[in-house]
Structure formats: C-alpha cells, structure tokens
C-alpha cells in the first residue's frame, strides 16, 4: 500500500495550527507521521491524530532540544541500571553520550 501525501501542505497546516506551541515542522516528525498515515489511510484524520500526538510530545521538538536531551538522559540512567554490561561497553567505547 502506498500513501501519497502532500507534505508541503501538511507541514504548512501543522505550522499554522500549532503556532502557539512555537514548534515548526522539523526532521523526525515525518517518521512519527508515517505509521499514522499508513494505519488511517486518510490524510485529514491523520493530520488530527498527529496534532493530538504532538500536543503531548512537542517538548521533544523545541529548538534548544531540552526535552529530547532530558529524555535521553533518563534513558541513559535507565540503561545504566537495567543493563550495566551494555552500559559499561558503550561507555568504554565513548558511546554513552545519549
């Protein structure tokens, strides 16, 4: 199944609708939108579903990336606790900067 969506219109509509959040359409949002479009197979319904989802996670897309950095910090702590062996390996290979 192939779904064609006018991403220019989608991003413009998103920016206009969410101008109060101070969030533009940024890289990574299309990765979140793709499964919604695939499952709903309806551009308008997908837009509103995406809008609702972004109202919950928009902090991850702030320009300073503070929300995403906070989430990655929590993931680092969780990994250190849940899988110390993997964490130690990543740290030894200078790959623990999440």
Q: CB–CB of 46/23 below 8 Å? A: no
Residues 48 and 69 in one domain: no
Co-location of 4 and 50 in the same domain: yes
Model pLDDT, residue 87: 93
Nearest Cα neighbor of 61 from 12, 18, 6, 24 is 24
Domain extent at residue 98: 64-98
- Name the pTM for this structure: 0.56
Better-predicted residue by pLDDT, 5 or 77: 77
pLDDT in tens, 25-68: 666 777 888 899 889 988 888 888 988 888 888 777 777 778 88
Considering the domain architecture, whether residues 85 and 75 belong to the same structural domain is answered as yes
Distance from C-alpha of 81 to C-alpha of 61, rounded to nearest angstrom: 27
Q: Is 31 helix (H, G, I), strand (E, B) or coil?
A: helix
């Amino acid at each position: 199944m192939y779904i064609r969506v006018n991403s220019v219109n989608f991003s413009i509509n998103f920016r206009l609708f969410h101008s109060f959040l101070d969030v533009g359409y940024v890289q990574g949002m299309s990765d979140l939108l793709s499964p919604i479009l695939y499952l709903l197979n309806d551009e308008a319904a997908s837009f509103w579903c995406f809008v609702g989802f972004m109202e919950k996670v928009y902090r991850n897309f702030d320009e300073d990336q503070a929300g995403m950095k906070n989430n990655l910090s929590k993931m680092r702590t969780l990994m250190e606790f849940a899988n110390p062996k993997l964490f130690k390996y990543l740290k030894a290979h200078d790959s623990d900067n999440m």
